[in-house]
């Protein structure tokens, strides 16, 4: 799938509350794309809210490690592209315990790839992953 230069896409941006995901979401919104994000917890201040784009993103509440949730999200919102930025920063959490880092950074990525593979069997989805 190669979208035309002016085609508006429906993009799932994981990690859209964090720094990298929020800046990518802002860029995608500035280009006219529709952005979807996942909230796993409610936080009063996120990078998306600091950038003033929180209200422009269509949010779903769920878990990045839940393949069924992700598959449903991709289908229900007719997602055309995935930009995967969701991750736990190693600096903050890694000094205390490694399991949350593995669960989110590895387990979440595998779940998202599995969900994308299930949906992509019926239609094409562009997948971008940043590590």
- pLDDT for 93: 57
Strands (E), 10-106: 10-14, 34-39, 58-61, 81-84
Question: Residue 128: enclosing H or E segment and its boundaries?
Answer: strand 126-129
The mean per-residue pLDDT over the stretch 90-119 comes to 84
Cα–Cα distance, 88 to 67 (Å, whole number): 18
- pLDDT for 73: 97
Q: Which residue has the tokens 């201040």?
A: 45
**Under DSSP, is residue 59 helix (H, G, I), strand (E, B) or coil?**
strand
| Alpha-carbon dihedral sign for residues 27, 31, 33, 106 | negative
The mean per-residue pLDDT over the stretch 33-57 comes to 93
Q: How confident is the model at residue 130 (pLDDT cuts 50, 70, 90)?
A: confident
CB-based burial, 100-122: b 16+ in 10 Å, e otherwise: ebeebbebbbebbbebbeebbee
What is the residue-averaged pLDDT of the chain?
A: 89
- pLDDT for 52: 96
- pLDDT for 83: 96
Q: How confident is the model at residue 2 (pLDDT cuts 50, 70, 90)?
A: low
Model pTM?
A: 0.88
Strands (E), 15-57: 34-39
Residue 104 has pLDDT above 90, yes or no: no
Q: How confident is the model at residue 112 (pLDDT cuts 50, 70, 90)?
A: very high
| Alpha-carbon dihedral sign for residues 84, 108, 98, 25 | positive
Residue 95 has pLDDT above 70, yes or no: no
Cα–Cα distance, 18 to 103 (Å, whole number): 17
- pLDDT for 62: 96
Cα–Cα distance, 42 to 8 (Å, whole number): 29
């Amino acid at each position: 799938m190669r979208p035309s230069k002016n085609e508006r896409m429906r993009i799932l941006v994981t990690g859209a509350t964090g720094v990298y995901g929020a800046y990518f979401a802002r860029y995608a919104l500035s280009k006219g794309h529709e952005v979807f994000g996942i909230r796993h917890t409610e936080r009063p201040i996120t990078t998306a809210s600091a950038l003033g784009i929180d209200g422009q993103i269509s949010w779903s509440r769920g878990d990045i490690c839940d393949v069924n949730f992700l598959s449903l999200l991709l289908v229900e919102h007719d997602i055309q592209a995935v930009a995967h930025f969701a991750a736990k920063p190693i600096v903050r959490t890694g000094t205390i315990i490694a399991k949350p880092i593995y669960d989110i950074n590895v387990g979440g990525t595998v779940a998202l790839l599995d969900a994308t593979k299930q949906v992509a069997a019926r239609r094409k989805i562009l997948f971008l992953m940043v590590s």
